[in-house]
């Protein structure tokens, strides 16, 4: 795939764990004209610049997705936008709800409007399983953001900008991941657990980046792409990483689910299944003219893709291999 060759790519929230892995893979596997890293923190940008040895193809823009004027300047000449900026820590969003809305929803509107006005060709927004049947504010803001990006294909009208979404589960090694927490608690011999029934979908940052790059290649505008991911019970994860430690059940936290859903019952009715992913088709009257009809399989009535009804479960060996390939964020 050479879809990013000679292109200018902008990554919002680009100094996070996703942005760094995205830049690493794109610089290795493609020949982009430039990758613009758009983020708030000068220290993180300084560290990322050092990490990539001042690669001249990486450009750093200090800015916030809340600031539309700064986005306007940063998107000049941009071909592809990957929107990864978000407030994503569930407790922080619960405690600071207005701030979460301003970044995750208002920021999405700013990205959409600026991309259309600047004539960006493709925008891929990152979402989460927590956007499905949301029980916390973070999930609710990501649900709204999904709707905004999909509907943006109507707003762009005759202009060339196309918008799609990738929705996936928990990322091993991302900021706030449970794996580093378990490793830290292991030193004290006691691992805290909110509920022994809890299950989660798992993906590595590298897998996520490659999936997103593949879907940028395929996107027509309006789809939500969902990778097929393995599940694992949190208690099994703890027993794999800290088999000699005691477990202390502390009760489910505010805004937390026992299981996660990547594809809801209602969404499945207008979705297609492929070998390695699901595709939620937009409910636009014109979609059948441009869509993937004939390429994927319709899902059976009553289908739902949740972390507890998954056909694929991580083995302990697969988990350890996955963890061994990850660099953990501070």
Count Cβ atoms below 10 Å from residue 92 Cβ, excluding itself: 15
Q: Which of 21, 44, 88, 130 is catalytic?
A: 130
Is 130 one of the catalytic residues? yes
Q: 148: closest CA among 113, 121, 96? A: 113
CA distance to 8, 79, 189, per residue, from 220 (Å):
19, 15, 51
**Which pairing describes strands 80-83 and 122-128: parallel, antiparallel, or unpaired?**
parallel
Catalytic residues: 130
């Amino acid at each position: 795939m050479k879809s990013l060759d000679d292109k200018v790519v902008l990554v919002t929230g680009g100094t996070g764990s996703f942005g760094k892995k995205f830049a690493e893979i794109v610089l290795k596997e493609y020949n982009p004209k430039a990758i613009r890293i758009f983020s708030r923190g000068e220290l993180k940008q300084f560290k990322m610049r050092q990490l990539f040895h001042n690669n001249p193809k990486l450009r750093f823009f200090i800015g916030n997705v809340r600031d539309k004027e700064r986005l306007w300047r940063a998107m000049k000449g941009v071909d592809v936008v990957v929107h990864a900026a978000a407030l994503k820590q569930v407790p922080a969003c619960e405690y600071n709800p207005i701030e979460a809305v301003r970044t995750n929803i208002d920021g999405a509107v700013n990205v959409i409007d600026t991309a259309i006005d600047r004539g960006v060709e493709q925008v891929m927004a990152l979402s989460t399983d927590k956007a499905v049947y949301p029980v916390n504010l973070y999930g609710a803001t990501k649900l709204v953001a999904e709707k905004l990006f999909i509907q943006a294909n109507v707003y762009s009208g005759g202009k060339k900008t196309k918008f799609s979404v990738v929705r996936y589960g928990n990322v091993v090694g991302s900021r706030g991941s449970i794996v580093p927490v378990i490793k830290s608690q292991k030193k004290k011999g006691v691992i805290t657990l909110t509920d022994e029934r809890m299950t989660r979908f798992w993906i590595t940052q590298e897998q996520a980046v490659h999936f997103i790059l593949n879907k940028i290649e395929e996107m027509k505008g309006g789809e939500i792409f969902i990778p097929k991911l393995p599940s694992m019970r949190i208690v099994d994860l703890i027993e794999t990483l800290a088999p000699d430690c005691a477990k202390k059940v502390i009760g489910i936290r505010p805004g937390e689910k026992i299981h996660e859903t990547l594809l809801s019952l209602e969404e499945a009715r207008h979705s297609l299944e492929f070998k390695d992913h699901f595709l939620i088709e937009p409910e636009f009257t014109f979609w059948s003219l441009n869509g993937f009809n004939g390429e994927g399989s319709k899902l059976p009535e009553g289908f739902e893709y949740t972390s507890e009804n998954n056909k694929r479960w991580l083995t302990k060996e697969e988990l350890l291999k996955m963890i061994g390939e990850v660099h953990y964020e501070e």
